[in-house]
Structure 1
Amino acid sequence: MKAVAVYPGKPNSAHLTEAPRPDLESVPNGRGVLVKVLRVGVDGTDREINEALYGAPPPGDDFLIIGHESFGQVEAVGPNVAGLKPGDYVVATVRRPGRSIYDRIGLYDFTTDEVYYERGINLLHGYLAEYYVDDMDYLIEVPPSLKEVGVLLEPSTVMEKGWSQATEIQHRLKTWRPQRAAVLGAGTIGLLATLILRLRGVEVTTFARKKKPYLNADLVEAVGARYLSTREISLRDAAGRNGPFDLMLEATGYSPLAFEAMEALGKNGVLILSSVTGGERKSEVPADRINLGFVLGNKVAVGTVSANREHFKTGVRDLACAEAAYPGWLERLLTHPVKGLENYGRLFQLLIEGKETIKIYCDVADF
């Protein structure tokens, strides 16, 4: 079968390859599900893996099939598979269990193992291929009504997990109900986070560098949120005017902004960090002031990455609610399609250019 792969550690090595088509027997105990890949989203993680910033191949291979934002259709199931049948649409989770105690109770996104397994990222092949096989436990059914936007499920789980962690942490306050939130970044993650927070009735201010008018700002305002350009107002000034922020999500990929957010966060607030920054950027920060604010303000910062099954299931419900509340909004995020695995070069060109893009994706097969 065709697949798009890299040679980890070798910059700009993305290539089209012929890989063995996986079979159901590769999953033990008859629990395997063969999935025909229909659509795969790409993001900065795929670009950085191709730049050799991180990533590792599965044992025994010198290449890694990339792609972690999947959407596909079940083609065959093993004899002991329950809840899925041929024809069902599915999205696969990304991280896989290791040996940590948390892995054994279904919290494999909280593994304490030094070595982690993530499909399309580290030690496991991904989904930018014609087919994949996986255990039924890592597949989430997507209703046909969401098939056009199902590829957005994996990126939506960044905020789903972030929200879950924030609410768990704030059980300390018994009746925590965030009134105002700030989302830093208006890319795919930031827009989906804005949507999810609005579905929960939170007042949202979304920040990005670019000034209005443009599509991302229109999408923010279409769900009843506020859009502000950081070229026109600083985060600190906006917090004074529109805050205090009970909840903040940093999703810009620009790590110094995380420390600005720590200052802007309101008392008893939660800052969710979601940017995977693979570089060596350094920044001078007002460390004493940030530390004092956290201590005296009972603030919390938490990271969110690699959601588990429950977050994906919540994501399906939220995407369905979004389609009902804001018809057509999700589809407007799908700005840059590329047809066919053989055109993988265009995917990376779009990732590098980043011009007016929200979600770049590959239509692997017709559906």
Structure 2
Amino acid sequence: MKAIAVSPKKIDSSRLIELPRPSVTDVPDGRGVLVRMLRVGLDGTDREIDSGDYGEPPPGEDMLVTGHESFGRVVEVGPAVTELTPDEYVVALVRRAGHSRYDLVDLFDLTTDDSFQEHGISRVHGFLTEYLVAEPRYLVRVPSPLAHVGVLLEPASVVAKGLMQAYDVQRRLRVWQPQRAAVFGAGAIGLLAALLLRIRGLSVTVFALEPPGSTQARLARALGAEYVSTAGAPGPAATPAAYDLIFEATGYAPVVFDAMTALAKNGILMLASVTNGDRRVEVPVDALNRDFVLGNKAMVGTVNANREHFEAAIRDLAVAELEYPGWLSRLLTHRVEGLDRYPEALTALAAPDAIKVYVEVAPG
């Protein structure tokens, strides 16, 4: 079968390879599920891995099959599998169990292992391939009415996890009723954050670099959100507004300090950007510290997700399809047909109007 692999830490090493097709018997005790990959989404992580910034192959191998945003269809199940049946749609969890005590209860996203396993990123092959075999514990069923946007579930799960954490943290306030939210960044994560906040009834302002007439701006306004272009303008911290919840998804670390300044009392800041490099900025640390302490503010990160978050994202996307019909499909801006055209997908990630780039691995 075909797959896309890299030589980790080497620049521009992505290539099409041939691998043996897996079988349900590859998983012991009759617990294998064979999945035909239909679509695989790409994001900045895939671009950075192709650029040689990071990535780790499975033990004993020198290459890594990439891709961590999956969507597929069950082809065959082992004799001991009762959770899934052939022809059902599924997405796969990104992280796998290691040795952390959290992994024992399927909280793979909260692992404390120093070296963890992430499909297509670290120590386990990814989903840019024609077939995958996995245990049912790593697969989440997707209702068929959401199949057309199923490839959005992995990024949506990260947002759902962030919002679930926000509300969990704010239980300390007994009654927390956020009214105003800001989203920094208008990529797939940022726009999905705006969507999930809107269906929860919050007033939302999206701050992003794209101009007011951009695809990103139109999508934000279609949700009833305000859109503010920050290109060549003062950042969000310069606005008088104070937000109960801020979701940061820019990929640009200095914006975090703007977000801290724009946060209201009793507010919470969700960080979704995973940044590399050694960028440094000068910040008013005394004022920030004082305001966080006296204002009962909190800051939490969100990355990856467990089954609970994927299932929550499925419910959110189902509600979104009812409240904003067709909006989710508009996030699927760049489709590349076939694994052999994968370089086109990497190029598309840099397009100004790119929101979700994905590879159509197989029709389905």
Alignment TM class, shorter chain as reference: over 0.9
User: Counterparts of 1:59-74 in structure 2 under 5 Å?
Assistant: 59-74=59-74
Deviation of 1:87 after TM superposition, in Å, equals 0.4
Deviation of 1:233 after TM superposition, in Å, equals 4.5
The question of 1:360 aligning with 2:361 is answered no
Give the aligned partner of residue 237 of structure 1.
238
Equivalent position amino acid for 1:234 in 2: G
Whole-angstrom distance in 2 between the partners of 1:202 and 1:174: 19
Give the aligned partner of residue 108 of structure 1.
108
Residue 228 of structure 2 aligns to a residue in which SS? strand
Whole-angstrom distance in 2 between the partners of 1:178 and 1:82: 41
- Consecutive unaligned residues of structure 2, counting only runs of 5 or more, are none
Residue 41 of structure 2 aligns to a residue in which SS? strand
User: Counterparts of 1:161-172 in structure 2 under 5 Å?
Assistant: 161-172=161-172
Whole-angstrom distance in 2 between the partners of 1:102 and 1:85: 28
User: Counterparts of 1:1-367 in structure 2 under 5 Å?
Assistant: 1-231=1-231, 232-238=233-239, 240=240, 243-351=241-349, 353-367=350-364
Equivalent position amino acid for 2:54 in 1: Y
Whole-angstrom distance in 2 between the partners of 1:278 and 1:350: 21
Residue 177 of structure 1 aligns to a residue in which SS? coil
Percent identity, please: 55
Deviation of 1:234 after TM superposition, in Å, equals 2.7
Equivalent position amino acid for 1:315 in 2: A
- Consecutive unaligned residues of structure 1, counting only runs of 5 or more, are none
Whole-angstrom distance in 1 between the partners of 2:238 and 2:253: 20
Equivalent position amino acid for 2:220 in 1: V
How does the TM-score come out when normalised to structure 1?
0.97
Whole-angstrom distance in 2 between the partners of 1:55 and 1:234: 33
Residue 280 of structure 1 aligns to a residue in which SS? coil
Deviation of 1:29 after TM superposition, in Å, equals 2.1
Q: Which moved more, 1:7-16 or 1:228-237?
A: 228-237
Equivalent position amino acid for 1:16 in 2: L
Deviation of 1:79 after TM superposition, in Å, equals 1.1
Whole-angstrom distance in 1 between the partners of 2:161 and 2:67: 20
Deviation of 1:354 after TM superposition, in Å, equals 2.7
Equivalent position amino acid for 2:362 in 1: A
Residue 55 of structure 2 aligns to a residue in which SS? coil
RMSD: 1.1
Residue 219 of structure 2 aligns to a residue in which SS? helix
Whole-angstrom distance in 1 between the partners of 2:324 and 2:138: 29
Whole-angstrom distance in 1 between the partners of 2:86 and 2:277: 43
Note the alpha carbon deviations across 1:284-325, whole angstroms, 9 max, x for none: 211111111111111111110110000000111111111111
Q: CA contact under 8 A between 2:235 and 2:258: conserved in structure 1?
A: no
Deviation of 1:237 after TM superposition, in Å, equals 3.0
Equivalent position amino acid for 2:101 in 1: I
Whole-angstrom distance in 2 between the partners of 1:283 and 1:22: 49
Whole-angstrom distance in 1 between the partners of 2:277 and 2:20: 34
Residue 148 of structure 2 aligns to a residue in which SS? coil
Residue 91 of structure 2 aligns to a residue in which SS? strand
Residue 102 of structure 1 aligns to a residue in which SS? helix
Note the alpha carbon deviations across 1:88-147, whole angstroms, 9 max, x for none: 011111011211111112211111111110001100000000001111011111111111
Equivalent position amino acid for 2:15 in 1: H
Deviation of 1:280 after TM superposition, in Å, equals 2.1
Whole-angstrom distance in 2 between the partners of 1:105 and 1:90: 21
Q: CA contact under 8 A between 2:204 and 2:225: conserved in structure 1?
A: yes
Whole-angstrom distance in 1 between the partners of 2:329 and 2:99: 39
- How many residues are paired up? 363
Residue 227 of structure 1 aligns to a residue in which SS? strand
